[in-house]
Structure 1
Amino acid sequence: MNRNKFINNSKEGIINEFFYLDVSKPFSTTDNVSILWIDLTYTGGPFKGEATACSGRKNNNIIFILGGYSDNKSFINQFDTSIQQWVNIESGSLINAANAPSQQFGYCAITLPDENILYIGSANFNDLSNASSYNPMDILPLYNTKSHMWTNTSISGQIPPIRTFFSAILTPDRRIIIFGSLNNGNILGDLWILDTFVFQWSIGRI
């Protein structure tokens, strides 16, 4: 199902609406009838808003839903696309696991080639005016999707300012490029590069 696009988000509040679009089939963006969304809300996913999602495991068949607003304390939820079922939805919360980050929002999660998920940025929603409530950019949580263990990865180089709500992408040569953000109420337009071979930040020259 690598060619299917899954969506689980909310513009306001928390919902568990869950849909996918099989982009291997032809459709026209000007013809809504041809865009066949498949509703998977009946699978009983978690009620969340402003969460981050990324795929992993063999054939990218597991979708990991991380953080966000929630009606429970589940930090991570998993959806198996091969059987269209949620995995350990009742007991899948790893918030109490060793080194697990506290519930945060406004971050990016990147699946690395080794199937680990690197968790970048974020802040505590209850205290956005306090710089100490933002996660540092020189120590990034790393989630192992095989062992379900968390580790804290130290990052060297010139360290980016703390931030939330930014874009991030993994390049074929294993660099993560982030752009923009919100920093303590200030909008930033900077670009940073993280080399995941040596875990070192450098500033991008735009």
Structure 2
Amino acid sequence: MIRMNINNIKIFFLLIILSIEIGQSVIPVERYSLSSVLIDKRIYFLGGESYHHSPKNSTTLDQILYLDISKPFNTLNPPFEILPNTIPFGSSYAIAFPSSQKNVIYLFGGITVNVNTDLDDFKSILHSYNLETNEWTIPTTSGIVPGRRKDISGVINNNTGKFYAFGGVSDQYTGTPNNSIILNDMNIFDINTLAWSIGSIINAPLPRVDYTATLLSNGIIVFIGGRETHAVRVVDINQLALYDTKADEWPSMTARNVTMENRFLHSAVLTPDERIIIFGGRQVPNDNPVLNQLAVLNTKTTPYEWSIPQVSAIGNMPLTTAAHSAILVENYMFINFGQITPFKNSQIQLPFFFILDIRNFTWVTQYEPEPSDNGKQIGIIIGAVGISVGVVTVVGFLGYKYYKKQRQGLYISRDRLRLCLTVTTT
């Protein structure tokens, strides 16, 4: 006969919940220049470069990681999962964006190599991945298809279904510096009609790479930083290139208020109140880190205004990082992977996870998703030899109440949980 005290019942049910809901997580290898996209309650991380721990012959990865953001977790042990279906090629320096149906991920541009031979065997500029069928395809498109390019950024307008990608460098993985061409064309892809078109080049900025692009609610795309012409000169961060998606025009603006370091390979997210938060990046020359790794651009003023926020929890602050992933989830800015600057072959940033609470600009280690009525779970039926139906009901109720508290450190490994489970047998 088995007896359980009330604490053991709680732990027992917590173990079952974690085993069912969290599943087997992975510790990913370090990477940078990856693509990321948020779809429903998952962040997908595609490809990237890993010089020291790539599992295949190429340093360019074909892996697809994801992170379930419907559950709480601690950044010291983030529950990364890996999809068994890989990208058909190694991918880096590309853009991932969702379809209007939210069941397809498009992958545009970047490096595309055979991960077994490290050779450039792929010619298409656009690929798609169906999350329901786990199939990769090359979409059949119309219009003027852009040439291959990398080191780009792009945005998707969810209202119109149009994707915008500006500039980039035209040489592929096997290209040489002398053959590379920095571009300044605006390519537009309609995900509803699968048609390509080209935006205006009148007053377009100089050719540019390694910048950020952010779409405002008024249809203006704000381009910040990067490198221009032959990729040796960093763009003045106060000189903002703007693209009006409604008028197909290129206005410009000089931001004011704070003088900051110019940068490239940084990241940017848009807050609900139309502020653009940038993080990290490098300087030229010598790839030195920027002093003010966090900065905020207020787009509700004319001209736009820069500010440097006062950041709390300095001990949890990441090192200045470049070529990382940044995505806004509710009130949290997720920053993943990347390179420590200045970049050295002997100093690769290991897999890492940092979260910035944008409400008070505090670096936090615990992620707590906002409650959702649609996502609530009403119970799990379990069975155990020697436990009556009445005990199971009590266990379910207590375990569910315990689970809802979402205490810090909820995400721990199954092995450690099993050590916590104590059963008294008579």
TM-score, scaled relative to structure 1: 0.79
How far apart, in 2, do the equivalents of 1:187 and 1:17 lie? Answer: 32
Structure 2 Cα separation of the partners of residues 22 and 111 of structure 1: 25
Residue 93 (structure 1) shift: 5.5
Alignment of 1:16-95 (within 5 A): 16-23=124-131, 25=132, 35-40=134-139, 44-56=145-157, 59-70=159-170, 75-87=185-197, 92=198, 94-95=200-201
2:282–2:289 Cα contact (<8 Å) kept: yes
Question: Which residue identity does 1:18 align to in structure 2?
Answer: L
Matching residue's letter, 1:204: P
Question: Distance in 2 between the 1:104 and 1:15 partners?
Answer: 23
Tell me the residue number matched to 1:197: 300
Partners of 1:111 and 1:163 lie apart in 2 by 20
Could you say which residue in structure 2 is the equivalent of 1:31? none
2-side partners of 1:10 and 1:40: how far apart?
17
Structure 2: give runs of 5+ residues left out of the alignment: 1-98, 113-119, 172-180, 312-426
Greater relative CO (CA pairs within 8 A, separation 6+): 2
- CA contact 1:192–1:204 (8 Å) conserved in 2: yes
Q: Which residue of 2 aligns with 1:186?
A: 288
TM-score normalised to structure 2 length: 0.40
> Whose strand proportion is higher, 1 or 2?
1
Please tell me the residue identity of whatever aligns with 1:107: Y
Identify the match of residue 118 of structure 1 among 216, 222, 226.
Answer: 222
Shift of 1:183: 0.6
Counterpart CA distance in 1 for 2:260 and 2:184 is 29
Determine which of 207, 219, 229 is the counterpart of 1:103.
207
**What is the CA distance between 1:15 and its match in structure 2?**
5.1
- Alpha-carbon separation, structure 2, partners of 1:41 and 1:142: 31
4+ residue segments displaced more than 3 Å = 12-17, 41-45, 71-74
Distance 2:159 2:265 in 1: 28
CA RMSD of aligned residues (A): 2.6
Corresponding residue number in structure 1 for 2:257: 157
Pairwise CA distance, 1:187: 2.5
Distance apart, 1:62 and its partner CA: 0.7
Q: Secondary structure at the match of 2:290?
A: strand
Q: Tell me if structure 1 keeps the 8 A contact 2:208–2:228.
A: yes
Number of residue pairs aligned between Structure 1 and Structure 2: 186
Identity of counterpart residues, as a percentage? Answer: 25
Structure 1 unpaired stretches of 5+:
26-33
